[in-house]
Every structure is written in structure tokens, then in C-alpha cells.
């Protein structure tokens, strides 16, 4: 192919000066392998923790020599860096639904373009239910109650936390707390222990009742 310089200065059927005739520049702008078809790259929602940047080779020449090119457009959640022979693509973490977009590369001089279709998976939270079963002081094992006077502790009650709650990505959703029922196992032969209702949400409660003969002995 040839190009006529200053073509606009010539009239119809006018002879062209030989100095104004030259061979057209040969621009090449392709992916590695020669294709110009769109390519794709997909990223996980948690790119910072589990993602890998995409490195895509680019061939850009003018008359056999390297020709500059640039990223002319891209989605806002995409980050790119370039060398003369490749584009590197990264994504920010996604906190919403799946998303997609297109990166456009443009060659200088020819305005030829290459397109990369990018997509990212939707945010996926880690959800788990955790159970809380323990006394108000944080103890989860045995606690001790020193009984100095039997009559003083007649009908005494003990409260504790007994619930489950939902954690999203390790953070508790306090509004999700749900009371979890409990049962009473073994206890001392000199008392009875019964469950009683609690006025506090998500709280378990039980009451001591001393045997009458032991209570009478303690107050003689």
C-alpha cells in the first residue's frame, strides 16, 4: 500500500510528484500469537487475599519497530500497569454483586484497539453460628458459692448466658442472638435445683432449694 503526501493539494487527474509518494506505515497491534479477538480475565471477590494479577502479552510495532500504546479506558475497580510488551491487571475487593467491564488498549499512531473483558465474582460472606454458654464472669466450668447460712441461700438463683448468635466474617450480629434451652445434670443430694424463667433475654437461670431437714438443722 502507498500513501500520497499532501493529497489534498492535488486536483482531479493531476500528476503526483514522486516525492509525495511513499509506502504506507505498517502497524501491528495484536496479542501474543497474532490474534486481535477479545480476551477475558476473571477475578475472585477477595482479590487481595486470593487473587492473582493477570499478565497479558501485547505485540505493538510500526514498520517492524516497537510502537507505543496505552490503556485508554477501564472499569474503576480495575488497576493496570504496562510495559512495552504486556499489560498487568489487578482488581479491588468486591463487596457487592458480580461485576464486569472492558479494558481498551489503544496503539499510538494507528488508533488500533485491543479489548479485554474483565469480570469479578460476587462477594461471598463467611457466616457461622456460635454458641455462648457460661456465667457472667466468663467462666465456662464450675463456679463456687460459699454458703454461710442455709436460710440465706434458701431459694437462691444463679443466672448465666445461654444463646447462639450469627457471625458474619468474624463479626457478631448482636440482633441475631437466640436463646438456647439447657438441662440440669447432677447436683448435691442436700438440695434440689430447678430451672426458672429469666426476665433477661438470652439468659438461663436456675434456683437452689435446700432440703427442709438440712435447713432446719442449720437454724437450731
* Residue pLDDT, tens place only, 175-199: 998 888 888 888 777 777 787 777 6
Mind listing the pLDDT tens digit for each residue in 17-57?
Answer: 565 566 678 999 999 999 999 999 999 999 999 999 999 99
The sign of the dihedral angle between the CA atoms of 183, 186, 187, 191 is positive
- Domains of the chain: residue spans and CATH: 2-120 (2.60.40.10), 127-218 (no CATH)
Mind listing the pLDDT tens digit for each residue in 104-158?
Answer: 999 999 999 999 999 999 999 888 998 888 765 554 555 555 555 555 555 666 7
Helix then strand then coil, in percent of the chain rounded to 5, is 10, 45, 45
Query: pLDDT band at 214, cuts 50/70/90?
Result: very low
Separation of alpha carbons 170 and 177, rounded Å: 15
Separation of alpha carbons 79 and 26, rounded Å: 31
What's the rounded mean pLDDT across residues 60-69? 96
Q: Which residue has the higher pLDDT, 67 or 144?
A: 67
Question: Phi then psi for 127, rounded to 5 degrees?
Answer: -115, 130
- Residue-wise burial string across 46-84, b where 16 or more C-beta atoms lie within 10 A, e elsewhere: ebeeebeebebebbbebeeeebebebeebbebbebeeee
Query: pLDDT band at 66, cuts 50/70/90?
Result: very high
∠ CA(120), CA(122), CA(128), 5° rounding? 140
∠ CA(72), CA(76), CA(77), 5° rounding? 125
Q: Say if residues 137 and 181 touch (Cβ distance below 8 Å).
A: no
Per-range mean pLDDT, top range of 4-13, 22-31, 56-65: 56-65
Report the pLDDT value the prediction gives residue 88, as an integer from 0 to 100. Answer: 98
Report the pLDDT value the prediction gives residue 145, as an integer from 0 to 100. Answer: 55
Place of cell 454461710: 148
Report the pLDDT value the prediction gives residue 148, as an integer from 0 to 100. Answer: 54
Percent of the chain residues topping a pLDDT of 70: 71
Burial of 149 (0-12, 13-18, 19+ CB in 10 A): exposed
Report the pLDDT value the prediction gives residue 81, as an integer from 0 to 100. Answer: 97
Q: Say if residues 197 and 207 touch (Cβ distance below 8 Å).
A: no
Report the pLDDT value the prediction gives residue 217, as an integer from 0 to 100. Answer: 44
Q: Which three cell numbers stand for residue 13?
A: 487527474
Amino acid at each position: 500500500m502507498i500513501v500520497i503526501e499532501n493529497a489534498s493539494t492535488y486536483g482531479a487527474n493531476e500528476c503526483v510528484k514522486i516525492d509525495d509518494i511513499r509506502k504506507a506505515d505498517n502497524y501491528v497491534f495484536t496479542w501474543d500469537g497474532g490474534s486481535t479477538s477479545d480476551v477475558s480475565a476473571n477475578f475472585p471477590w477477595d482479590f487481595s487475599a486470593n487473587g492473582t494479577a493477570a499478565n497479558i502479552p501485547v505485540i505493538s510495532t510500526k514498520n517492524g519497530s516497537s510502537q507505543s500504546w496505552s490503556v485508554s479506558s477501564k472499569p474503576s475497580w480495575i488497576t493496570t500497569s504496562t510495559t512495552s510488551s504486556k499489560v498487568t491487571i489487578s482488581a479491588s475487593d468486591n463487596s457487592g454483586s458480580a461485576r464486569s467491564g472492558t479494558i481498551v488498549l489503544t496503539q499510538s499512531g494507528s488508533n488500533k484497539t485491543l479489548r479485554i473483558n474483565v469480570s469479578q465474582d460476587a462477594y461471598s460472606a463467611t457466616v457461622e453460628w456460635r454458641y455462648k454458654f457460661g456465667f457472667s464472669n466468663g467462666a465456662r466450668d464450675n463456679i463456687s458459692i460459699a454458703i454461710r447460712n442455709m436460710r440465706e441461700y434458701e431459694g437462691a438463683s444463679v443466672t448465666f448466658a445461654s444463646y447462639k448468635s450469627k457471625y458474619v466474617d468474624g463479626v457478631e450480629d448482636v440482633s441475631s442472638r437466640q436463646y438456647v434451652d439447657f438441662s440440669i445434670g447432677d447436683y448435691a443430694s442436700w438440695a434440689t435445683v430447678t430451672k426458672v424463667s429469666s426476665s433477661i433475654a438470652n439468659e438461663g437461670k436456675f434456683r437452689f432449694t435446700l432440703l427442709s431437714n438440712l435447713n432446719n438443722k442449720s437454724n437450731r
